[in-house]
Amino acid sequence: MLKIHVDFNAMTEDGKMIWINTDLECDLLKDLHPDLRVLLYEPDQLEVEATLVLEKAEDGKEWWYGRPDWSTSRDI
């Protein structure tokens, strides 16, 4: 399972998804695809399994998010 570093403070306003910063993690782009199951983590804090979601803005920019399955969260 692909492990992706995230900032859990970067949640969407509705609290349902966590933004994945592909500007910092640009090498991830080759491996990402919608509905992929991944492990989101923040070092020394938390990890949780999630499903990837791709949203495309009108300007063509792509935004990747993880939709966490909070029943899988673990303190690390």
Q: What is the pLDDT of residues 18-39, one digit of tens each?
A: 999 998 878 888 999 999 999 9
Mean pLDDT of 39-55: 96
- The confidence score (pLDDT) of residue 7 equals 95
- The confidence score (pLDDT) of residue 25 equals 77
Model confidence, pTM: 0.90
- The pLDDT confidence band at residue 56, using thresholds 50, 70 and 90, is very high
Domains of the chain, each with CATH number or no CATH: 2-75 (2.40.240)
Q: Is 66 exposed, middle or buried (0-12, 13-18, 19+ CB in 10 A)?
A: buried
| Cα dihedral sign, 31-34-38-42 | positive
- Alpha-helical (H) ranges within 1-76 are none
